[in-house]
Amino acid sequence: MTTFKDQTNTGGKLKLAEILEIFAAGGEGLPLRFTAYDGSSAGPEDAPVGLNLLTPRGTTYLATAPGDLGLARAYVSGDLEAYGVHPGDPYELLAALAHKLNFRRPSARTLAQIIRSIGVERLKPIAPPPQEALPRWRRIAEGLRHSKSRDAEVIHHHYDVSNRFYELVLGPSMTYTCAAYPDPDATLEEAQENKYRLVFEKLRLKEGDRLLDVGCGWGGMVRYAARRGVRTIGATLSAEQAAWAQHKIAEEGLSELAEVRHSDYRDVTETGFDAVSSIGMTEHIGVANYPAYFGFLRSKMRTGALLLNHCITRPNNRSGPTAGGFIDRYVFPDGELTGSGRIITEMQDVGGLEVLHEENLRMNYSLTLRDWCRNLVENWDEAVAEVGLPTAKVWGLYMAGSRLGFETNVVQLHQVLAVKLDSRGNDGGLPLRPWWQA
């Protein structure tokens, strides 16, 4: 029987599974089962998870966009099928790919044979699935990055999917940010409530205070604070988020204290707030815009007011801010991440802000994503009916992959607390040590 090694020596035509084995360091220890439409297969027959390449179009996606973007295109379009996992939570498959599969670049001679085997026509780019956003260069050409109109467009791409879909995934809290688990067995709802409690206490809020919550989402922090007597304004660029939040505020009888505006945070004219919360917002700002962002937030604060910034970060301050192909094109167009050190530096360099405390909630986000995926699996049929199979698959892939990223320290989640000082360095009389319960 001729093996792929024999064929690479003789120049014979390679099967698709043989090509995978070449890229996967000879196929030794392949952690999954791979089958293809040409009848070939690779990997252990009893592997618990696997991939099935169904069409030549899938080969084109994989060949023209190597890496996560090509895999996503083939998977979302239905040309690459995963088995052994639920599409709402393909975590086990992604973990196998990340932990056990090491790709290598073949020799030029072998690459030439691979091209002959799949056909030159497979190297001609084709239109991606309609769920994919424009490439970054097109977005730059068609609009100024992080202008108000451009930011509104990218927020619409991600957040205006369907309020019902988000209810199915996020649960009753409708909170699309990292929860804070008081213990590993806590429910998602308990953890989200605990996160809002933690933010509220860090900001030293009390009845009669005024809070500005920028990028407020569906108004979870706004309503939490209002239920405790704090007058709160929230701003979101998502029309669907604002409508949902406004309805919920009225339903809970909080209209005298809580307001959610469908607006850019830069359009908030009020000042003198006792506290400002930025929860899951900085990821959308753009690293180059941090000075202006933190400067704007400082301008909204009275002397002695507190600012809490809660956002996803990189594990170091050296990596470039741009997201990978799949995240940038399917999840967060224009999203950028940097290290917590860069965020602290930018807050300090604004002037007049003193950083008091920071903490990393990385593993809490892994648990949050685990629970979101669990919700998606449990509500899969309704979710697919609401947004369509391709979009539901994007979310399962994105959340399971993100869970893996937090577990393996590819990304982190940091909360940074700062106070606005007066011209003489007074902080308004804060306690000498942290005043909140962890």
Q: Where in the chain is the domain with CATH 3.40.50.150?
A: 149-420
pLDDT surpasses 70 at 149: no
pLDDT at 4: 47
β-strand 210-214 against 273-279: which pairing, if any? Answer: parallel
106 pLDDT higher than 90:
no
State the pLDDT confidence band at 303, using cuts at 50, 70 and 90. very high
- Residues 401-435: pLDDT tens digits? 999 999 999 999 999 999 999 999 999 999 999 99
Question: Is residue 236 a contact partner of residue 261, using CB atoms and an 8 Å limit?
Answer: yes
Stated pTM of the model = 0.91
From 16-30, 171-185, 362-376, the region with the lowest mean pLDDT: 16-30
pLDDT interval class at 210 (50, 70, 90)? very high
How confident is the model at residue 21, as a pLDDT? 86
In 3D space, the residue among 272, 393, 388, 398 whose CA is nearest the CA of residue 326 turns out to be: 398
Confidence (pLDDT) at 23: 80
Residue 269 falls in which region: left (phi positive, over 0), alpha (psi -120 to 50) or beta: alpha
pLDDT value for 102: 66
In the structure, what pLDDT confidence band is assigned to residue 136 with cuts at 50, 70 and 90? low
User: Is the pLDDT at 260 greater than 90, yes or no?
Assistant: yes
Q: Tell me how far CA of residue 252 lies from CA of 23, 27, 211, 212, 213, in angstroms.
A: 57, 58, 19, 20, 19
**Least trusted range by pLDDT, from 233-247, 323-337, 355-369:** 323-337
Give me the pLDDT at residue 6, please: 45
What is the average pLDDT across 6-31? 73
* pLDDT the model gives residue 138: 55
- pLDDT(84) > 80: yes
> How many C-beta neighbours within 10 Å does residue 82 have?
20
pLDDT of residue 292: 97
CA distances from 41 to 38, 51, 85, 168 (A): 9, 10, 19, 37
Average pLDDT, the chain: 90
- Span 251-267, mean pLDDT? 97
The predicted structure's pLDDT at residue 395: 96
Please report the pLDDT score of residue 322 as a whole number. 78
pLDDT: which is higher, 320 or 177: 177
pLDDT (mean) for 211-236 = 98
What tens digit of pLDDT does each residue of 42-53 get? 999 999 999 999
Residue 1 has pLDDT above 50, yes or no: no
Q: What pLDDT shows up at residue 99?
A: 76
For residue 10, pLDDT beyond 70: no
Euclidean distance between CA atoms 44 and 51, whole angstroms:
12
Report d(CA 311, CA 156) in Å as an integer. 20
What does CATH list as the number for 149-420? 3.40.50.150
Share of residues in the chain with pLDDT > 70 (%)? 90
Per residue in 234-256, pLDDT (tens digit) is 999 999 999 999 999 999 999 99
Lowest-confidence segment of 128-132, 163-167, 295-299 by average pLDDT: 128-132
